[in-house]
Amino acid sequence: MPKQSSINKSIFDKILDFLCQVNVVFTGIALVFLTIIFGWLVFGRYVLNATPTWVEQASLLLVVYIGFFGGAVGVHKKTHLGVAVFKELSPRPVKLVFEFLNHILLGIFGVVMTFYGYQLMIFKWASKIPLLPISEGFRALPIMLSGVLIFLFSVGHLIHFFKGTDQNETQ
């Protein structure tokens, strides 16, 4: 079945696509910065003989953002981790049940991530990341934000599921 044209997309679909694209750009930029700061680490260690101490904490922070926002993109594009063997071997009615449950469970997971990510962010906000002048709450921020995105992307998939327009495995 051909991809749905952008003319037929609802405003909600266009917003979800835009949020996904922002995530892709953001994670790409974060990967570039991660590469640059590791280059600086190697240069500082072996050329200047002075290892920059902040690189480890900065890289850990970037990896958290890349992982969580990249995971949200995977939910939108249906490339997230999953066990598809049971779905693929099942008859069509069972496939539909698996697909529906997948979207529901991912939506619930997004709500749980949002709720507990917010609590963790508030709890950690008063402390600072060692060697970086920013709050520890920034480590939990991507948990909360990606939870919101996962929930929204799951709702979008459920809308298409009920409209019968979500037959493609990937978008």
Could you report the per-residue pLDDT of 133-155, keeping only the tens digit for each? 999 999 999 999 999 999 999 99
Could you report the per-residue pLDDT of 11-52, keeping only the tens digit for each? 999 999 999 999 999 999 999 999 999 898 888 888 888 888
Angle between helices 11-46 and 137-163 (to 10 degrees): 150
∠ CA 52-58-59 to the nearest 5 degrees? 100
Q: What is the pLDDT of residue 120?
A: 97
How much is the pTM? Answer: 0.86
